[in-house]
Amino acid sequence: MGGDKMSDGNGFNVDALVEPDRVHRNCYADNEVFEREIRQIFHKAWIYVGHESQVPNTGDYATTVIGRQPVIMVRHQNRSIHVLYNRCPHRGAKLCANRAGNTGGNFTCSYHAWQFKLDGKVRHIPIQSGYDNTRFNLNDPNSHMKPVARMEVYRGFVFASLSPTGPSLVDWLGTAIAGIDDMCDRAPEGEVEVVPTCFRMIQKSNWKIFLENQLDAVHPSVTHGSTGLAAQKVEKEMLAETGNPPPLSYHYISAFAMEMDKWGALDVVGHPNGHCVLQGYMGLRPTDPDTLEYDAIMEKHYGPDRAKEILDVNIHHLLVYPCLSIQSPLQQLRAVRPISANETLTEIWHFRLKGAPEPIYRRALDYFYLVNSPSTMINADDLYNFRKCQEGLESEGGDWVSFHRNAGQDLVEDGVATSVIGFSEIPMRNQFEAWRNYMQAEGAL
């Protein structure tokens, strides 16, 4: 740890790390800071666990981590969802070793065959007589699988908090709930359904570097110029060779090379608790037959006024801090799972809009492939930059990370800050304001 930079006698001095327009490199490179983030942020905030359509049937489960805690999301016989620590109360074995599966009507431990109901309550312990006249007690919570302290489901999106106290999920999301609403509202039936393929990508960089990149409107034309320009060239060739305009999917990657000014015209909005929104180009409304058919279905379900209102929602990208990056107009979601100060796992999903025609799903699928798959030509260069940032921040070549661009110029109303220009580093400042609050909060040191 960086000596006096970090310490105020109580062991942690957030003021030495975070200033309004710059942060210390130890925020990214210090293992003790990382451990504190796990305790103070990931073990307290609402963390995305999964979508309930991952577990449609009784006994279906999916595993993931909340901070350092392995958890199981499981579907109960009564249709409810439970999020339980993935740990056997007997001698500690994980109960579900797989990422997903079906455990039947109960969990059975592979070590000594203790059995648990799908809400985690112990169901059967072999050789029960051995517990006669011992201190073992079925009324003791230690005899059952431990549920997470709090769990809430919002429109199918399952979040958990390991802290027994704190704001409700909806209060915590605040105005950022618009991202989840936008994704679901775009479905004629008002719901989305997960596509079961989850791509997992390990980033050799701190989790915050990923989140800071997501709404960074300066980086696309620099980082992704090669892919954007290559796609623009092929768009022209395709038109010349086939006479047909290229499919919309090419626009997803060619747009990365659009002129800097256009990125600057986007609004970036900082919401309370670190959530942020980049508003922008996905709001484009093509008028091809597939889109028109979809628009008509939307009007039928919602009525023309509400349908227009939904389709006009102008969100490019939204962060639910600290755990999610959502691109609601294309139904993409990336969950952030920090591993260590310099390593982060992302779980990457996409969704179907229930009731939307197949060609509309194909747009989500194409984006998932081109931007979010393991063969992505876009994130190839992001991940490389992230890694280089991490390596630079671990050096002593400088102590500070600059977030000065347009600092002090944000337009603030009701706790929501809007940038004066899309290039503003408002999202980074906004995330660190939340970081500061989490990190210096009382308790659980």
Partner 1 sequence: MSGAMSGGALPVAGVSLETQHRVEQFLYRQAEILDDRLWDEWLALFTADAHYWMPASPEQTEGDGQANIFWEDHYLMRTRIGRINHPMAWSQSPANRTGHVVSNVVVEAEDASSGDLVVRSKFYVAEYRMDEQRFFAGKYRHNLKNTPDGYRIELQRVDIVNVEGPFDYVLQYWI
> Using an 8 Å Cβ cutoff, are 421 and 264 in contact?
yes
Q: Please select the residue that binds Fe ion; options are 212, 267, 382, 410, rule is CB under 5 A.
A: 382
For partner 1 (CB under 8 A), the number of binding residues is 40
Give every CB contact of residue 352 below 8 A, 6+ residues apart in sequence. 187, 192, 193, 194, 195, 331, 361, 364
Q: Please select the residue that binds partner 1; options are 26, 86, 214, 379, rule is CB under 8 A.
A: 379
Under the criterion CB under 8 A, does residue 111 sit at the interface with partner 1? no
CA neighbor of 2 nearest in space, from 31, 37, 22: 31
Under the criterion CB under 8 A, does residue 149 sit at the interface with partner 1? no
Reading the block at residue 366, the tokens are: 């194409």
Whose Cβ is closer to Fe ion: residue 37's or residue 382's? 382
23-36 as b/e: b if 16+ CB within 10 A = bbbbbbbbeebbeb
Q: Please select the residue that binds partner 1; options are 110, 137, 168, 226, rule is CB under 8 A.
A: 226
Whose Cβ is closer to partner 1: residue 117's or residue 350's? 350
Reading the block at residue 431, the tokens are: 């995330």
- The alpha-helical segments, DSSP class H, found in 224-357 are 225-242, 248-254, 260-264, 289-302, 304-311
Under the criterion CB under 5 A, does residue 185 sit at the interface with Fe ion? no
Site for partner 1 in 48-77 (CB under 8 A): none
Q: In terms of DSSP bridges, do strands 60-66 and 100-102 run parallel, antiparallel, or are they unpaired?
A: antiparallel
Reading the block at residue 261, the tokens are: 């000014």
How crowded is residue 79: how many other Cβ atoms within 10 Å of its Cβ? Answer: 9
Exposed/middle/buried for 44, CB within 10 Å: 0-12, 13-18, 19+? buried
Under the criterion CB under 8 A, does residue 384 sit at the interface with partner 1? yes
Contact footprint for ligand FES (CB under 6 A): 88, 90-91, 93, 109, 111-112, 114
Minimum CB separation of residue 95 from partner 1 in Å reads 20
Minimum CB separation of residue 89 from ligand FES in Å reads 8
Q: Lay out the sheet containing 100-102: strands in order across.
A: 81-85, 69-75, 60-66, 100-102
Under the criterion CB under 8 A, does residue 234 sit at the interface with partner 1? yes
Minimum CB separation of residue 70 from partner 1 in Å reads 15
Minimum CB separation of residue 300 from partner 1 in Å reads 25
Under the criterion CB under 8 A, does residue 227 sit at the interface with partner 1? yes
- The residues binding partner 1 (CB under 8 A) are 99, 195, 197, 199-202, 204, 223, 225-227, 229-231, 233-234, 237-238, 246, 250, 253, 345, 350, 358, 362, 365, 368-369, 373-377, 379-381, 383-385
